[in-house]
Amino acid sequence: MEAIGLTRSQWHVLVYVLKMDAPSQTALAEALDIARPSVGALIDQLENSGYVSRERDAHDRRVWRIMPTQLASQRAEAFAQSAERVATQVFASIEDRDLSAAMALLSTLRENLISPTPDRLEKDGNC
């Protein structure tokens, strides 16, 4: 993404803005599993680059919706092609079963961080 002037983090946020229907900053933060202020800084950068704009929510004036600009929409296919090339290169030597096992492990770790099981709390005493 460096070739088009985006960092990995900016690109990641932009992909979600393109996928989601006018998300709020809070919805983006939740979808990306990162802090709301961090998403805000990335949105600021994307706005300055002309890829997104903020628009007031029609029903709640406290909420700003993050909208892809025409530039972002025009470049969406190029972004997808670049991402596909990177993914192909990164995962080329990884067997499907190994990738599935890694994804399952990461999912379990994430779930454990979100909601530790009661037996772990009792055993560890400090979760």
Give me the pLDDT at residue 76, please: 87
Give me the pLDDT at residue 118, please: 64
| Residue count (the chain) | 127
Separation between Cα atoms, residue 48 and residue 61, nearest integer Å: 22
Give me the pLDDT at residue 84, please: 85
Averaged pLDDT in 10-residue chunks for the chain of 127 residues: 81 93 94 94 96 94 94 88 86 91 91 73 55
Question: In the chain, helix, strand, coil percent, each to 5?
Answer: 65, 10, 25
Separation between Cα atoms, residue 7 and residue 124, nearest integer Å: 39
Give me the pLDDT at residue 125, please: 55
Give me the pLDDT at residue 60, please: 92
Contact status, residue 1 vs residue 7, Cβ threshold 8 Å: yes
Separation between Cα atoms, residue 49 and residue 28, nearest integer Å: 18
What pTM was estimated for this model as a whole? 0.72
